[in-house]
A and B are shown apart, each in its own frame.
Chain A
Amino acid sequence: MSTLAAGSIALPLADEQLQRVSDAVAGLSPAQLQWVSGYIAGLSAGPAAQAQVEPESGKTLTILYGSQTGNGEGVAAALAARAGELGFTAALCSLADYRHASLKRESLAVFVVSTHGEGDPPDDAELFHEFLLSPRAPQLPGLRYAVLALGDSSYVNFCQTGRELDARLEQLGAGRLLPIVECDVDFEADAESWSDRVAAGLPEWLDAPPAAPRLRAVDTAVRFGKENPFAATVLLNQKITARGSSKDVRHVELSLEGSGLASEPGDALAVLASNPPQLVEQLLKYLGANPDDDVRLGDETVRLRDVLAHRLEITAASVGFVRAWSAASGAAELERLLEDGRQAELVDFMDTHQVIDILRRFPADVEAANFVSMLRKLSPRSYSIASSPRANPDEVHLTVAAVRYQAFGSEHWGAASTHIVDRIEEGGTLSVYVEPNSRFRLPADDATDIIMIGPGTGVAPFRGFVEERAERGASGRNWLFFGDRNFSTDFLYQIEWQQRLKLGQLHRLDVAFSRDQARKVYVQDRIRERGAEVYEWLENGAVIYVCGDAKRMAGDVDAALVDVIAAGAGVDRAAAEHRVRELRRDGRYRRDVY
């Protein structure tokens, strides 16, 4: 990326505005830049144009995405750019922003949609999903479509939202152009081949030969991504829970100098980690295999030890693994878990059993090569970036909790967290790339108040938010709810928050330490205690952000917000729930939960 420079030509932008534009586009790929140029052109055409992407029937490919982590959005944006390069008109739109009534006027639409948690749609697709599956959905005889589903096979109900969408569209009379493609966490290859098929089908589906291909911009800079991660130097790996804590949480500072990687507050950093060596040894011993034996991995031949250490997922078990191991071991209990209607039990089982636990509980004599074929590729782990790029150029900070615990009488490890915490020294490197998270951005208007709810390491992005708003001199107020187990050992970034409060850069801080008293207290309790003020902030236009645990915290906080709104507005629960959905739709209630 070349920087924008105010030369001799009189620019209509002030230097500061120019800088903001420059910052905003830094690090975008050519395809993304092209899309952005179209987006800005649309903005300049006036309010009517920015309100809605209106398809020109019969001529336009509409690409709709619903994405929790940004992967789906990336695939969708790349497809839009590619269609543009081929000379077709593509309209790219998040399902959160898509007007439902437009659907019946569409002729060609493709959906890229992920599945979240235990079969739930991502936040930005929630309302569309609800609409489409409801009796209100119109018949769609004029629509032809294709669905790319993203998911994680370690969860049951894999790709559920994509499957539901695909089936429901057919039921409504729409014509399926391609069979649904279901991608696991290593989605890139499958997504790419699906995009290829869409691109190949466009001339026929749009009944128009492609116009002369536009000139493809030449990108000379190396871009870092999943296939080409950047080796970031670890500047600091500092434990920030005190002795006596039940947790080991690290503040990690990485240098991105020379990478050209750019991020915005709210984005995540993906880390490609290796597996715990102790676990690799345990597996080798279990298999009774020679670590130097070669095994096949796709088209490659790799030493067994390296495959287990660096290439395959050996901590978390996937449904596919449970199925394969069930067949190999013939264990009745596994077979029973895989029966229809036992999904809750299966989820619980996979939550409590790593691969090694399944091996030990249900022994089987399996060849190393066969075992390797049961495992998924090792996927990168994402960590919310805990710093503001504006305040720390060329650095990203992470807040990483080491996952270590005892179960079934032996030590267990999380793959990436222990990689960072135990196996990377300061001065060493980590393979990383930036994962944009456009659904978790600060308000564009600095005067807007924000309420941040981030217990545990969920506080990470908010450290970046507050730092960024301080750096920008934002006039909006910042309110943080933080919680953890013990005040004296687990108050993450305590002295930084105290300092921000003193400087007027953080305006309110409410804390809940669950284990400091007989009655456990959590952030949602503090939200209820402060309900009147939270409601007042909301009425004043505040945006709410929630980051952290999806299993319990996110739901508990959601319920607390419903209570706060019900009490504040004097409405019943249903009306308050509706109001919460509206906040979400309007981008005033944003979540990054996992």
Chain B
Amino acid sequence: MSGKALTDVERIKAKSRYLRGTIAESLADPLTGALAEDDTQVSKFHGFYQQDDRDLRSERKRQRLEPAYSFMIRARIPAGVCTPAQWLSMDRLARHHANGTIRLTTRQAIQLHGVIKRDLKATIAAINASLLDTLAACGDVNRNVMAPPLPALSAIHRDVRADAERLSAHLTPATRAYHELWLDGEKVGGADAEPIYGETYLPRKFKTGFVVPPQNDTDVFTQDLGFIAISRGNELLGYNVTVGGGMGMSHGEPETYPRLGDVLGFCERDQMLAVAEAVVTTQRDFGDRSNRKHGRLKYTIDDRGIDWFRGEVESRSGIELQESRPFAFAGNGDVYGWQRSDDGRWHYTLFVQNGRVLDDEGRELLSGLRAIAEAHDGEFRLTPNQNLIISDVADADKAGIDRLLHEFGIANDEQATPLRLHSLACVALPTCALAMAESERYLPSLVDRLEAELAAAGLGNDPITIRMTGCPNGCARPYIAEIGLVGKGPGTYNLYLGASFAGDRLGSLYLDNADETAIVATLSELFRRYAAERDAGERFGDFLIRSGRVREIRAGRHFHEEPAGA
């Protein structure tokens, strides 16, 4: 690192005075709907991104108007658990200050899109008033901590959720800037400090997730830091610690790649915070601050070796990690519909296509969930697959919830195919600045075509995971989907195949820069082979590897090696 120039974002962080930047001045400038350029970096730490409607960009330029700037605000919801009251608050903000939709994210957070600058403060203040917040929802810090929403193993779930919340609180930035800017907090003098992060925070974003086998719904291997719950009966013993996962890469830059986390070892439950902090501070001190595309923990580990890293974590935490415990994953999707937990309560997992909650003709998701939130006194749980669980329903109330689900036309469609129920897309166009191709607006229609191909191959009832992103940064974790599609340009995608159904094996590039015709034709052929040649119970991704059609990727750094199978 020494000798290399720091990135511009490092300069901005360093002079931001613990994340104040000139955000206050930017908010007060009435001549533009944008922030000052440096503030667009600082704002991420406060949980909002500057975006603009890319559909309108060229039109507005000709109209001599600046781009239609608006902001995406992300509310941080550790473990994805919120109350109906909190949901109602987000619903109100979505309708009054945002674009009338709520977006459930792949990290169990809630996003509002289309909030204009002059409404930012009121919106963020209202989110805080509902006892959620947006601090550190984005930025070079530990982001929303994920944990399984799965209610079936209730006791373990409760303990893991409590640990996730403890860790989230422990790694939340300590700066007072957030209170000053959004909550009219008192200005603090020079006493501000960040005991864990320091003045320049982390080199890059940092993601943490907990998981309870056998469901890998939080995709623990894609997290920078993961905790795999190890239990005996209803007792949570501790965690296998995973480090160095991460999805993002850049097209045409083979030194960037998606990587799955390594299992570092086992820690006791009460050692979890100390281990996590040691991982974070090691990354803080050794992560690459001279190149944003090489800043994630996965590169720090690949550059220096996993043994060095373990040594650093052990010496910083004073904890010797034990040998990892056995575990097994069966899948990373959600189980839909009603389930009953061990305490006798009911939970309904509602399919939300691409996580977008809005009112459509005949399917009024936004209004329906509002009505349910008004009637319901349990919890809403957001799943890592962008779905929603209406949780903690008493026997007596189950029929009422069912009635509302049907009244608003939002109950899970019995006809929905397993492929659709296992589909995931990022937001992409028109608001995401990084998108190279459509995603959320396009995947449903591609799924229509693939459903027909699967039905023709006799595979209509077989679940296959399919995920699409508009760029290679990987928000919907496409590299661990059995069918991964990553935007390359308008209408074209890279097709990745061979990942596992359980999210523990990366896919491999199968088609480069392919359009819909090529994608459908290729998959159609492979579906027919799979139907004809699979072993009993064999998953699509596993079949492609076993049959040699797709090369197996054993480590992220081999991700870009020449495809062998195709």
Which A residues are closer than 8 A to B by beta carbons? 238-243, 251, 487-489, 491-498, 501, 509, 511, 516
| B63 at interface, CB cutoff 8 A | yes
Q: Assess the A241–B64 pair: CB atoms within 8 A.
A: no
**Given A242-B60, A501-B31, A511-B30, A491 contacting B65 (CB threshold 8 A):** yes
User: In the complex, what distance in Å separates the CA atom of A251 from the CA atom of B64?
Assistant: 9
Q: Assess the B116–A511 pair: CB atoms within 8 A.
A: no
Q: Assess the B32–A240 pair: CB atoms within 8 A.
A: no
Residue from B32, B59, B62, B64 having most chain A Cβ neighbours under 10 A: B64
Shortest CB–CB separation between residue A462 and chain B, in angstroms?
14
Q: Assess the B33–A240 pair: CB atoms within 8 A.
A: no
| B360 at interface, CB cutoff 8 A | no
Q: Assess the A242–B63 pair: CB atoms within 8 A.
A: yes
Known: A238-B63, A496-B64. 10 other contacts (CB 8 A): A242-B65, A242-B68, A243-B59, A487-B33, A493-B64, A494-B65, A495-B61, A495-B66, A498-B66, A501-B31
Within the complex, which residue of B56, B65, B116, B118 is in contact with A240, where a contact is CB–CB below 8 Å? Answer: B65
User: In the complex, what distance in Å separates the CA atom of A26 from the CA atom of B31?
Assistant: 38
A-B contact pairs, 10 of them (CB 8 A): A240-B63, A240-B64, A242-B59, A251-B64, A487-B33, A492-B64, A494-B31, A497-B31, A498-B32, A501-B31
Q: Assess the A241–B63 pair: CB atoms within 8 A.
A: yes
Residues in B whose Cβ lies below 8 Å from that of A238: 62-64
Within the complex, which residue of B56, B62, B64, B116 is in contact with A494, where a contact is CB–CB below 8 Å? Answer: B64
User: In the complex, what distance in Å separates the CA atom of A488 from the CA atom of B119?
Assistant: 13
Closest to A517 in B: B118
Instruction: Name B106-134 residues within 8 Å CB distance of A.
Output: 116, 118
Size class of the B contact interface (CB-based, 8 Å): 10 to 19
Shortest CB–CB separation between residue B58 and chain A, in angstroms?
12
User: In the complex, what distance in Å separates the CA atom of A114 from the CA atom of B66?
Assistant: 42
Closest to A490 in B: B65
**Given A488-B33, A501-B31, A511-B31, A494 contacting B66 (CB threshold 8 A):** yes
Residues in A whose Cβ lies below 8 Å from that of B61: 495
Shortest CB–CB separation between residue A570 and chain B, in angstroms?
30
Shortest CB–CB separation between residue B153 and chain A, in angstroms?
49
Residues in A whose Cβ lies below 8 Å from that of B31: 494, 497-498, 501, 509, 511
Instruction: Name B60-86 residues within 8 Å CB distance of A.
Output: 60-66, 68
Instruction: Name B34-56 residues within 8 Å CB distance of A.
Output: 56
Shortest CB–CB separation between residue B61 and chain A, in angstroms?
8
User: In the complex, what distance in Å separates the CA atom of A241 from the CA atom of B56?
Assistant: 13
Residues in B whose Cβ lies below 8 Å from that of A495: 61, 64-66
User: In the complex, what distance in Å separates the CA atom of A498 from the CA atom of B34?
Assistant: 12
User: In the complex, what distance in Å separates the CA atom of A516 from the CA atom of B117?
Assistant: 12
Shortest CB–CB separation between residue B26 and chain A, in angstroms?
14
User: In the complex, what distance in Å separates the CA atom of A509 from the CA atom of B30?
Assistant: 10
Instruction: Name B516-530 residues within 8 Å CB distance of A.
Output: none
Residues in B whose Cβ lies below 8 Å from that of A493: 64
Closest to B68 in A: A488
Q: What 9 A-B pairs come out closest when comparing CB atoms?
A: A240-B63, A494-B65, A493-B64, A240-B64, A495-B64, A495-B66, A511-B30, A494-B66, A242-B65
User: In the complex, what distance in Å separates the CA atom of A242 from the CA atom of B52?
Assistant: 14
Residues in A whose Cβ lies below 8 Å from that of B63: 238-242
Instruction: Name B271-292 residues within 8 Å CB distance of A.
Output: none
Shortest CB–CB separation between residue B259 and chain A, in angstroms?
42
Residues in B whose Cβ lies below 8 Å from that of A492: 64
Shortest CB–CB separation between residue A480 and chain B, in angstroms?
11
User: In the complex, what distance in Å separates the CA atom of A241 from the CA atom of B59?
Assistant: 10
Closest to A496 in B: B64
Within the complex, which residue of A239, A489, A501, A516 is in contact with B118, where a contact is CB–CB below 8 Å? Answer: A516
User: In the complex, what distance in Å separates the CA atom of A492 from the CA atom of B66?
Assistant: 11
Residues in A whose Cβ lies below 8 Å from that of B30: 487, 511
Residues in A whose Cβ lies below 8 Å from that of B62: 238
User: In the complex, what distance in Å separates the CA atom of A9 from the CA atom of B146?
Assistant: 87
Q: Assess the A488–B116 pair: CB atoms within 8 A.
A: yes
User: In the complex, what distance in Å separates the CA atom of A59 from the CA atom of B318?
Assistant: 112
Shortest CB–CB separation between residue A492 and chain B, in angstroms?
8
User: In the complex, what distance in Å separates the CA atom of A71 from the CA atom of B509?
Assistant: 76
User: In the complex, what distance in Å separates the CA atom of A549 from the CA atom of B69?
Assistant: 30
Shortest CB–CB separation between residue A539 and chain B, in angstroms?
26
Instruction: Name B462-488 residues within 8 Å CB distance of A.
Output: none
Q: Mark B6-40, 1 if CB is under 8 A from A, else 0.
A: 00000000000000000000000011110000000
Shortest CB–CB separation between residue B210 and chain A, in angstroms?
42
Shortest CB–CB separation between residue B90 and chain A, in angstroms?
23
Residues in A whose Cβ lies below 8 Å from that of B60: 242
User: In the complex, what distance in Å separates the CA atom of A38 from the CA atom of B118?
Assistant: 58
Closest to B67 in A: A495
Residues in B whose Cβ lies below 8 Å from that of A488: 33, 65, 68, 116
Closest to A526 in B: B30
User: In the complex, what distance in Å separates the CA atom of A498 from the CA atom of B118?
Assistant: 18
User: In the complex, what distance in Å separates the CA atom of A494 from the CA atom of B31?
Assistant: 8
Residue from B31, B33, B118 having most chain A Cβ neighbours under 10 A: B31
User: In the complex, what distance in Å separates the CA atom of A240 from the CA atom of B116?
Assistant: 20
Closest to B70 in A: A488
User: In the complex, what distance in Å separates the CA atom of A238 from the CA atom of B118?
Assistant: 28
Shortest CB–CB separation between residue B131 and chain A, in angstroms?
27
User: In the complex, what distance in Å separates the CA atom of A491 from the CA atom of B32?
Assistant: 10
Residue from B33, B63, B64 having most chain A Cβ neighbours under 10 A: B63
Closest to A239 in B: B63
User: In the complex, what distance in Å separates the CA atom of A511 from the CA atom of B448?
Assistant: 49
Residues in B whose Cβ lies below 8 Å from that of A498: 31-32, 66
Residues in A whose Cβ lies below 8 Å from that of B68: 242, 488
Residue from A238, A241, A488, A496 having most chain B Cβ neighbours under 10 A: A488
User: In the complex, what distance in Å separates the CA atom of A238 from the CA atom of B33?
Assistant: 22
User: In the complex, what distance in Å separates the CA atom of A381 from the CA atom of B299?
Assistant: 69
User: In the complex, what distance in Å separates the CA atom of A251 from the CA atom of B62?
Assistant: 10
Residues in A whose Cβ lies below 8 Å from that of B64: 238, 240, 251, 492-496
Residues in B whose Cβ lies below 8 Å from that of A511: 30-31
Shortest CB–CB separation between residue A515 and chain B, in angstroms?
13
User: In the complex, what distance in Å separates the CA atom of A496 from the CA atom of B66?
Assistant: 9
Closest to A513 in B: B30
Shortest CB–CB separation between residue B479 and chain A, in angstroms?
38
User: In the complex, what distance in Å separates the CA atom of A467 from the CA atom of B500?
Assistant: 63
Shortest CB–CB separation between residue A400 and chain B, in angstroms?
14
Instruction: Name B86-118 residues within 8 Å CB distance of A.
Output: 116, 118
Residues in B whose Cβ lies below 8 Å from that of A501: 31
Residue from A489, A495, A497 having most chain B Cβ neighbours under 10 A: A495
User: In the complex, what distance in Å separates the CA atom of A191 from the CA atom of B118?
Assistant: 55
User: In the complex, what distance in Å separates the CA atom of A327 from the CA atom of B170?
Assistant: 87
User: In the complex, what distance in Å separates the CA atom of A572 from the CA atom of B116?
Assistant: 43
Shortest CB–CB separation between residue B63 and chain A, in angstroms?
5
User: In the complex, what distance in Å separates the CA atom of A238 from the CA atom of B31?
Assistant: 22
Shortest CB–CB separation between residue B287 and chain A, in angstroms?
36
Shortest CB–CB separation between residue B64 and chain A, in angstroms?
5
Residues in A whose Cβ lies below 8 Å from that of B33: 487-488
Shortest CB–CB separation between residue B408 and chain A, in angstroms?
28
Shortest CB–CB separation between residue B25 and chain A, in angstroms?
15
User: In the complex, what distance in Å separates the CA atom of A116 from the CA atom of B64?
Assistant: 34
Shortest CB–CB separation between residue A455 and chain B, in angstroms?
15
Closest to A511 in B: B30
Residues in B whose Cβ lies below 8 Å from that of A496: 64
Residues in B whose Cβ lies below 8 Å from that of A509: 31
Shortest CB–CB separation between residue A148 and chain B, in angstroms?
43
Residues in A whose Cβ lies below 8 Å from that of B118: 487, 516
User: In the complex, what distance in Å separates the CA atom of A493 from the CA atom of B33?
Assistant: 14
Residues in A whose Cβ lies below 8 Å from that of B65: 240, 242, 488-489, 491, 494-495
User: In the complex, what distance in Å separates the CA atom of A68 from the CA atom of B62?
Assistant: 34
Shortest CB–CB separation between residue A503 and chain B, in angstroms?
14
Closest to B117 in A: A487
Residues in A whose Cβ lies below 8 Å from that of B116: 488
Residues in B whose Cβ lies below 8 Å from that of A241: 63
User: In the complex, what distance in Å separates the CA atom of A487 from the CA atom of B117?
Assistant: 11
User: In the complex, what distance in Å separates the CA atom of A494 from the CA atom of B59?
Assistant: 14
Residues in B whose Cβ lies below 8 Å from that of A239: 63
